[in-house]
Structure 1
Amino acid sequence: MELQLSTPALLFSAITLLMLAYTNRFLAIASLIRGLHKNYMEASNQEIIVEQIHNLRRRLTLIKNMQLFGVFSFLSCIICMYLLFRGYTMVANWVFVGSMLSLLISLGLSLIEIQISTKALNLELADMEEIFRKRSSGLDFIFKKDSKKDEE
């Protein structure tokens, strides 16, 4: 199979959208870190916040590497197109393989980052569920509803 100029060009739109998604994830993480910093300075229970900070630091490193491999894939596509244009098909094939491998690594890192993100959200949910269980234990929640009816 001979590689044509249009093949690496097809990856341009996919890689561009992927990089946009990675950038959005980075911006969301940056916003979380800023909010967490504010909570850390004000909170008395800082143990949970410290765990979240470690989690965000790992995610930030993964996103940086995702972006790095995505950019490398994008640059490799450009080099591959140039090599095809110049007629160096054998070298272009290898550069294209490198581009695809780089994209695969980037997607694999993205999958790992999604798993870590999901674990972090489950920690938050578990924390809130624990508070909810404490509030709903006993008969307090029944009397609170009755007291609201009495006020009307």
Structure 2
Amino acid sequence: MEITLTTPALLFPALSLLLLAFTNRFLGLANLIRSLKDRYATTQNHMVYNQIENLRTRLILIRNMQAFGTFSMFGCVLCMFLLFAGYEIAGQYVFGLSLVLMLISLGLAIREIQISVNALKLELNDMQGKHEAN
């Protein structure tokens, strides 16, 4: 299989958008953690504490998503350099590794979304329970 300089360059827009989305998720999570921390400090609500623990797991996943996505982009740049320098075989292997790293990043994103949805379900169940109690 022949890889040209343009092949890894095709991943740059996708990787850039993924990293931007991951960063936005991180910033949203950071704001939510700060507000929940303040809420827990005043209420000592067990549900709030469980949400904070859930967010801790999601935060680690997002950090790893960003790391693997960044390593994938680094690999694409390294691949382009190797192809430019005439090391085609090494460039192919590095490009393959970059694709694997991107797959790992996307897999972590799927897992983080699943955890996020489960947290929202808990919140909805809590709200529904309070409504039915009234």
TM-score bucket of the superposed structures, by smaller chain: over 0.9
Cα shift at 1:131: 1.1
Normalising by the residue count of structure 1, what TM-score does the alignment of the two structures yield? 0.87
Instruction: Specify the code of the residue in structure 2 equivalent to 1:114.
Output: I
Residue 125 of structure 1 corresponds to which residue in structure 2?
A: 124
Cα shift at 1:112: 0.3
CA distance in 1, matches of 2:14, 2:60: 23
Aligned pair count reads 134
Residue 5 of structure 2 corresponds to which residue in structure 1?
A: 5
Residue 145 of structure 1 corresponds to which residue in structure 2?
A: none
Residue 95 of structure 2 corresponds to which residue in structure 1?
A: 96
Map Cα deviations across residues 101-123 of structure 1 (whole Å, 9 max, x no partner): 00000000000000000000000
Aligned pairs for 1:1-152 within 5 A:
1-44=1-44, 46-135=45-134
CA distance in 2, matches of 1:130, 1:49: 16
Instruction: Specify the code of the residue in structure 2 equivalent to 1:74.
Output: M
Cα shift at 1:53: 1.1
Residue 146 of structure 1 corresponds to which residue in structure 2?
A: none
Structure 1 SS opposite 2:4: coil
CA distance in 2, matches of 1:47, 1:129: 17
CA distance in 2, matches of 1:49, 1:56: 11
The answer to which of 46-55 and 88-97 deviates more is 46-55
Q: Which of structure 1's runs of 4+ aligned residues deviate more than 6 A?
A: none
Structure 2 SS opposite 1:53: helix
Q: Which one has the largest radius of gyration?
A: 1
Percent identity, please. 52
Structure 2 SS opposite 1:2: coil
Normalising by the residue count of structure 2, what TM-score does the alignment of the two structures yield? 0.98
Structure 1: where are the runs of 5+ without partners?
136-152
